[in-house]
Amino acid sequence: SQQGEEDPQALSIQEGENATMNCSYKTSINNLQWYRQNSGRGLVHLILIRSNEREKHSGRLRVTLDTSKKSSSLLITASRAADTASYFCATRAFPQGGSEKLVFGKGTKLTVNP
């Protein structure tokens, strides 16, 4: 089953507004990553937050992590039309007896209207 679940599934905002996406996961993690995917293209890594970190910034991106609630949020400030894409959270799970693998949620589809 999916490790991460994003919320909302779709989000539509106006240019200049902030966009917030949430991710919940089920098991203990080593780190949580956010990726972006433009329609039909490959995924691009945006930001990584380790399990011992609570907040991280990168340009217009701000990620928070609450391990007690098993949740993370991605905030995109001052959004632009070019931010229109799907955003996925991904977690490193540690399956018993297996190596690490990256498990993705179903994503939030963000539309930024000019």
Partner 1 sequence: KAGVTQTPRYLIKTRGQQVTLSCSPISGHRSVSWYQQTPGQGLQFLFEYFSETQRNKGNFPGRFSGRQFSNSRSEMNVSTLELGDSALYLCASSPGLGRGSTGELFFGEGSRLTVL
Tell whether residue 42 is a contact of partner 1 (CB under 8 A): yes
Tell whether residue 107 is a contact of partner 1 (CB under 8 A): yes
Q: Indicate the residue among 18 and 30 with the shorter CB distance to partner 1.
A: 30
Q: In terms of Cα–Cα distance, which of 13, 4, 25, 1 is closest to 85?
A: 13
User: Dihedrals φ, ψ of 32, to 5°?
Assistant: -125, 135
Q: Which of 19, 63, 103, 110 touches partner 1 by CB under 8 A?
A: 103
Q: In terms of Cα–Cα distance, which of 2, 4, 1 is closest to 87?
A: 4
Rounded CA-CA distance 64/75 in Å is 9
- Length of the chain equals 114
Tell whether residue 80 is a contact of partner 1 (CB under 8 A): no
Rounded CA-CA distance 16/12 in Å is 12
Q: Indicate the residue among 15 and 106 with the shorter CB distance to partner 1.
A: 106
Q: Which of 33, 72, 79, 84 touches partner 1 by CB under 8 A?
A: 33
Tell whether residue 43 is a contact of partner 1 (CB under 8 A): yes
Rounded CA-CA distance 79/83 in Å is 6
Taking the complex as a whole, the smallest distance from the CB of residue 88 to partner 1 amounts, in Å, to 7
Q: Note the residues at the interface with partner 1 (CB under 8 A).
A: 2, 30-31, 33, 35, 40-45, 48, 88, 90, 92, 95, 98-107
